[in-house]
Amino acid sequence: MTDDKTPGVLMLDIQGQYLSAEDRQLLSRQAVGGLILFSRNYTEPDQLRGLIAEIRECKPEILIAVDQEGGRVQRFTSGFARLPAPYRLSSVFDKSPAEAVNQAQVLGWVMAAEILHFGLDLSFAPVLDLHTSASKVIGDRAFSSEVDTTVKLARAYVSGMHEAGMVATGKHFPGHGTVAADSHLELPVDDRIDSELWSRDLRVFSECIDILDAIMPAHVCYPNIDQACAGYSNVWLKNILRQRLGFEGIIFSDDLSMMAAKAVGPAETRAATALAAGCDMILVCNDRQSATDVADYLEKIEHTGNPRLTSLRASPSPELATLYETEKWASAIEIVDRLNY
């Protein structure tokens, strides 16, 4: 058992733009330590402030997350900075590497500063997958198709996130960008051998590992390394990520409700498999019954909290209280706007 201020290991979602009685009951459960917000939970800034206040009143210590990458993956839009897709930086890098690196740092700061300003803890970023023509689900969410360019831009982006006071979550380990299949709909299979992965996708993670606070593995199977998909794999999470790469941060599962994750069985089995493989926090989204079943299971086996998760709580810099009034914000937004055109 854990104390009431230790975050539970389950992150889930809510349906609407305010908390229902059912939401409050579920968020209050000991197993629940995180909440991820989606586009359906947002209309405009004042509504978001009210929702965050409701959530904090219900459970002050809960971790509140979002996917605010930019481009087509930006959950909060109206009233927020319009963030370009990360791949936009690749064309800038081709002309001026130094300018692109500076812009990546600014983008990371803008994204994180605005999210923290509204009282959330983290955005699941950056995407460290490589850009290829094969993967439409990753596509322009990636920084570049080149390893060295991706590493330089990602490290700058993370520096901006850290400057604002947000932890960085690299995804999707060990690399989702080369497979065509969408893991939301099916289990992708990457048939490359060990040396090919290490020279490309894995090298990005290896060269960013020292600055990442958290990692999210891919629901992708790499059969030449392990038959289990990465998010369920002791080989990938314990042997390679923890031991070989020396990663000491938090491991999030990707959403266990995605089709690629369902092959191992019902929700309780998925949760147990992900935790056994080495995940510190598991996500169960867009399936309230499965989330409830997982909470029941975790509380039954008394696997409800993980003290390490407290490291994810936001530590925003003081300037963020008056973010939109600062010269730094005005200058940063000029750079963001240039990237959009």
Q: Does the active-site annotation cover 184?
A: yes
Q: Which two tokens stand for residue 257?
A: 């409700």
Alpha-carbon distance 29 to 175, whole Å?
34
Burial of 237 (0-12, 13-18, 19+ CB in 10 A): buried
From 267, 285, 230, 276, select the one nearest 65 (Cα to Cα).
285
List phi, psi (to 5°) of 301: -95, 5
**Can you tell me whether residue 217 is helix, strand or coil?**
strand
Query: Which of 67, 254, 255, 280 is the catalytic position?
Result: 254
Consecutive H or E run containing 127: none
Alpha-carbon distance 289 to 256, whole Å?
13
Q: Which two tokens stand for residue 9?
A: 């290991």
Query: Which of 184, 287, 293, 296 is the catalytic position?
Result: 184
CB 231 within 8 A of CB 221: no
Consecutive H or E run containing 73: strand 73-74
Alpha-carbon distance 109 to 308, whole Å?
25
Alpha-carbon distance 158 to 126, whole Å?
7
Q: Does the active-site annotation cover 296?
A: no
CB 138 within 8 A of CB 201: no
DSSP conformation class of 189: B
Catalytic sites, residue numbers: 184, 254
